[in-house]
Structure 1
Amino acid sequence: MTVLQITHPGALPSPSVYTAWAAPYSTLRTERHNRLDRVRQYLRGDHAFAQLIRFALVGGSSNVAYVLLFMAMHGIGPLVANIAGSVVSTVIANELHRQLTFRAAGRVGWFTAQWEGGGLALLGLGISTAALAGLDFWAPSLGEAAQAGAVIAIMAAVGGLRFLALRGLVF
């Protein structure tokens, strides 16, 4: 149909012609939106797995804070930058765990969370340091890829133990 053939406004195609091909898109979009809403609701829940996901996200964000502070203070010296970065990132992580991961702001005060969470962080640092020293003692000829894998496994185990301790004892 050309413009010259249109004699009255009723000759134009009705909107229902266009909904036939647009309907699957809107249905898929609605299904995807509903799925995302269910995932968001689950991740906001108090299930252990949802808390573990939030725990990992908080840990990642506090590690970013550590790296940024370490790079900003590196001119002072790597030892001081490491200590400052560790302390600040631990304080950030403990507060985020108190408020977001375990939603314990009403049950556990700031100082208690910092004291107990910081103590667990120090205990984790001691365990991971001892494990890495043991790895270096018992397997000194371990390749770089195997060492990296061992470090990741040790840090994951310590992180898992910290999660369980924070969930069960602190928050």
Structure 2
Amino acid sequence: MSGSVDTRPPRCAGREPLKARLRGESLPAQFIRFVLVGGSSNVLYGGLFLTLAGLGSFVANIVGIAASTVLANELHRRVTFHAVERVGFLQTQWEAGGLALAALVLGTTALAVVNIALPEASSLMQIFAVVAVSAVTGAMRFLALRGWVF
């Protein structure tokens, strides 16, 4: 023995490190990864929306949702649900894209309501409306992706 003392705190029996738990297949781990993927795709959406807002908010919305949905679907396949070997890229885009179509309709409706109710609304206000609707539809989408697609 070298005489060194282990100064690490004792590990509780049965408890995995947080990193290992977040990589697991439990519902909470998958949901946390789902939220992180959703957040990253919303950043892409917001960037595209602001970049393309000069073409009109509806064009910016549709392009932003289409691009961020493809990214999110692929990240969910690879990261959230670890389904690369079970589900192919095109199948993912087709099935998860169908679910995202409902979010597109709801987001576009929210955007239309903002434009009608507040015709002078800023691009940030428009993004807020769409992202708020996305949060609600996102929870429903998580359950559908987990139970049906992946």
Q: Give the TM-score taking structure 2 as reference length.
A: 0.71
2:48 is aligned to 69
SS of residue in 2 equivalent to 1:74 = helix
Higher RCO (Cα < 8 Å, 6 or more apart) = 2
Shift of 1:59: 0.2
Q: How far is 1:127 from its partner? A: 5.5
Name the CA distance, whole Å, in 2 between partners of 1:78 and 1:128. 12
Partner residue in 1 for 2:19? 40
1:118 counterpart residue number: 97
**4+ runs of 1 displaced by more than 6 Å?**
none
Structure 2 counterpart of 1:53, from 23, 28, 32? 32
- Extract unaligned runs of 5+ from structure 2: 111-127
Distance 1:71 1:114 in 2: 25
Any conservation in 2 of the 1:55–1:97 contact (CA below 8 Å)?
yes
Question: How far apart are 1:65 and its partner, in Å?
Answer: 0.5
Deviations 1:74-127 (CA, angstroms, capped at 9, x unpaired): 232222111111100000000000000001011101011011111101123445
Contact preservation (8 Å) 1:128, 1:158: no
User: Which of the numbers 119, 140, 145 marks the counterpart of 1:166?
Assistant: 145
- Please, which of 75, 85, 88 is the counterpart of residue 96 of structure 1? 75
Q: Could you tell me how far apart the structure 1 residues matched to 2:107 and 2:66 are?
A: 17
Structure 1 spans left out of the alignment, 5+ residues: 1-22, 133-147
Identity between Structure 1 and Structure 2 (%): 52
Aligned equivalents of 2:137 and 2:50: distance in 1? Answer: 25
Partner SS, residue 29 of structure 2: helix
Relative to the length of structure 1, the TM-score reads 0.63
More helix by percentage: 1
Structure 1 pair 73/125, CA: closer, same or farther in 2 (3 Å)? closer
Question: CA–CA distance in 2 between the matches of 1:157 and 1:74?
Answer: 24
The correspondence of residues 123-162 of structure 1 with structure 2, limited to 5 A, is: 123-126=102-105, 152=132, 155-162=134-141
- Once residues 127 and 79 of structure 1 are traced to their aligned partners in structure 2, the CA distance between those partners, rounded to angstroms, is 13
Pair member with larger Rg: 1
How much does 1:128 deviate?
A: 6.5
How many aligned positions are there?
130
Q: Is residue 108 from structure 1 mapped to residue 92 from structure 2 by the alignment?
A: no
Give the Å deviation of 1:129: 6.8
Q: Which residue of 1 aligns with 2:59?
A: 80
Residues 10-44 of structure 1 deviation map (CA, whole Å, 9 limit, x = unaligned): xxxxxxxxxxxxx9xx94xx44xx79x70000000
